[in-house]
Amino acid sequence: MTTDKTIWPVILSGGSGTRLWPLSRSLYPKQLLPLVDSRTMLQATVRRVMDGARYRAPLLVANEEHRFIIAEQLRQCGCAPEAIILEPEGRNTAPAIALAARFALERDPEALLLVMPSDHLIRDEAAFAAAVEAAAVAAGERHALLTFGIRPDRPETGYGYICCGAPLEGHNDVHAVDRFVEKPDLKTAETYVADGNYVWNSGIFLFRAADYLDELATHEPEMAEAAGAAMDKGVWDSLFFRPDKETFRRCPANSVDYAVMERTRRAAVVPVDMGWSDVGSWTALWEVSPKDGNGNAVHGDVLIEEASNCYARTNGPAVALAGVENLIVVATPDAVLVTSRERSQDVKKIVDRLKADGREEHMVHTVVHRPWGTYQTTDRGERFQTKRIVVKPGEKLSLQKHHHRAEHWIVVQGTARVTCGEKVIDLHENESTFIPIGVTHRLENPGKIPLHIIEVQSGSYLGEDDIVRFEDTYGRG
């Protein structure tokens, strides 16, 4: 049995992926990275639901900081989203889904939502599609709230479990949920695998938007009210939809599991084996990566000598492993991680330390992405720093000034159009200009190739927050 209802894919893209530091950082997290192949995790998720006959254009829920990167990655894979809803603040998955459900319900009273994290791997897409069909029928006919349960191939202590009850009448591939189980210890996980009725909780869901909002109103009325009111007061900003910030701040934080799925009487599960991984740690990424004859997975400039069962990755300096086993080694231009595969979950503790110490390595890479291009800090010292700035063709930075720093710009590739006070000039390769402290200025690329400049800043304060914007193409304050 199938349903001919078009499904609304809802992609949640607000996570920070701290367990994959130093590659994943809060301003450029794992869903925006190509971890498994040449596509980013977000792009792979979107491509999975780009069958126009079965799915509507995807509806994304994201945060302010990632909005332009997400929009660009969607453009690169040929996806025009229904909308990108910008959460005013992170409130966990239940409110995020409520925003999407309200958006869809206003446009389709029978909307079926397929809710997916943006950073999961699914290798068997035919099995995924079959599971979606089974869930869609049960959601439409029985008003069930479906989750997808992964049949375990090993005792895993890093996932929550679902105990499957009896099949729903007329839906042999769908089971009632007997109970949800928190992450177990190893001995308990072994009993779950041996039992055969337990599946991993994947964090993927399918239900009618109206049914989800009804259950949310029953179990979390304050959350349902705040999310609905925030959407009612929301405004469009190009392809971004902005729920009202002050209203949304009244919304309690909670996960969809705790807020709804563990409390509703309508919970059901579709057990499926679809080559799934949440890629939630370096060990998980090692497990799904191609390996050499000694069990090593390598990416980048890596040398291996008599090492085994290691994961080594670099987008910075060359990395060499000799005479070691079961290690994770990850290098970026500004950080190196070394840990055992068994302790890779502890990376989050390192990120917490970086935050507590007021350091920036948990937040940004040396290459920082902006809607107009990128910049990279190449040197920093007392009262100066240098950056390499790349501006995409046709793009421009905001019209701005700084209270505490002057800037010297040297063009190394392309053409720069520079506004400095009342003057507008074009600079070409090997030409330069000076921007004094307090003078209004702008940099733009009028050409057809990327513009590369070297910027030398000097002054008493060089922080990124010393920017007064007067005009901005991208709506930044």
Q: With 60 as the cut, is the pLDDT of residue 18 above it?
A: yes
Percent of the chain surpassing pLDDT 70? 99
Q: Is the pLDDT reported for residue 1 higher than 70?
A: no
Angstrom distances, CA of residue 168 to CA of 143, 145, 152, 175, 177: 12, 12, 22, 5, 10
Q: CB 186: neighbour CB atoms within 10 A?
A: 9
Closest by CA to 96, choosing from 203, 238, 236, 237, is 203
For residue 463, what pLDDT is reported?
87
User: Around Cβ 97, how many Cβ atoms within 10 Å?
Assistant: 26
Can you read off the two tokens belonging to residue 385?
């720093």
pLDDT computed for residue 110 by the predictor: 94
**Neighbouring residues of 18: CB distance < 8 A, sequence distance ≥ 6:** 24, 26, 347, 348, 351, 362
Query: What is the C-alpha to C-alpha distance for residues 13 and 440, in angstroms, rounded to an integer?
Result: 36
Give the Å distances, CA to CA, from 387 to 400, 407, 444.
18, 10, 16
Q: Does residue 104 contact residue 113 with C-beta atoms inside 8 Å?
A: yes
- CA dist 262 and 259 (Å) reads 7
**For the chain, what is the mean pLDDT?**
94
Cβ neighbours of residue 158 under 8 Å, at least 6 residues apart? 183, 280, 281, 284, 345
Q: Give the separation between CA 286 and CA 309, rounded to whole angstroms.
A: 9
Residue bearing tokens 């290459």: 367
Could you tell me the CA-to-CA distances from 115 to 82, 105, 348, 454 in Å, in that order? 14, 14, 26, 44
**Total Cβ atoms within 10 A of residue 409:** 21
The reported pLDDT for the residue numbered 310 is: 98
Q: Which residue's structure tokens are 């910027």?
A: 455
Residue 4 pLDDT > 80? no
CA distance 247 to 196: 45
pLDDT digits (tens, 9 = 90+) for 244-254: 999 999 999 99
Class of domain 367-471: mainly beta
Burial of 222 (0-12, 13-18, 19+ CB in 10 A): exposed
Strands 171-181 and 161-168 turn out to be antiparallel
Question: Which residue matches tokens 């190196």?
Answer: 336
**What is the rounded CA–CA span in Å between residue 116 and residue 9?**
8
How far is it, in rounded angstroms, from Cα 76 to Cα 166? 44
pLDDT value at residue 367:
86
Domain ranges of the chain: 7-276, 282-352, 367-471
> Rounded to an integer, what distance in angstroms lies between the CA atom of residue 128 and that of residue 142?
21
* Secondary structure class of 358 (helix, strand, coil): coil
Given CA atoms 447, 449, 454, 455 in this order, what sign does their dihedral have?
Answer: positive
What is the β-pairing status of strands 302-305 and 451-459?
A: unpaired
Write the pLDDT tens digit of every residue in 118-176: 999 999 999 999 999 999 999 999 999 999 999 999 998 889 999 999 999 888 899 99
How confident is the model over 388-424, as pLDDT tens digits? 999 999 999 999 999 999 999 999 999 999 999 999 9
The CATH class that applies to domain 7-276 reads: alpha beta
Q: Does the bond joining 167 to the residue before it have cis omega, within 30 degrees of 0?
A: no
Distance CA 162, CA 262 (A): 10
**Beta-bridge partners for 443:** 418
pLDDT of residue 477: 63
pLDDT at 2 over 60: no
Confidence of residue 87 (pLDDT cuts 50, 70, 90): very high
Q: How confident is the model at residue 243 (pLDDT cuts 50, 70, 90)?
A: very high
Q: What is the pTM of this model?
A: 0.88
pLDDT, one tens digit per residue, over 51-70 is 878 899 999 999 988 998 99
Q: Is 326 within 8 Å of 309 (Cβ atoms)? A: yes
Q: What is the pLDDT of residues 94-103, one digit of tens each?
A: 999 999 999 9
Residue 97 CA to residue 254 CA, distance in Å, equals 11
- Give residue 85's pLDDT: 98
**Residue type (1 letter), 2:** T
Token pair for residue 70? 């997400």
DSSP, collapsed to helix, strand or coil, labels residue 92 as coil
Looking up tokens 């609905």 gives 228
Q: Looking at mean pLDDT, say which of 15-19, 118-122, 469-473 comes out highest.
A: 118-122
pLDDT at residue 14, rounded to an integer = 86
Report the C-alpha gap between 264 and 331 in whole angstroms.
Answer: 45
Residue 468 structure tokens = 């007064």
Among the listed residues 432, 434, 468, 449, the one whose alpha carbon sits nearest the alpha carbon of residue 395: 449
What is the C-alpha to C-alpha distance for residues 344 and 19, in angstroms, rounded to an integer?
Answer: 8
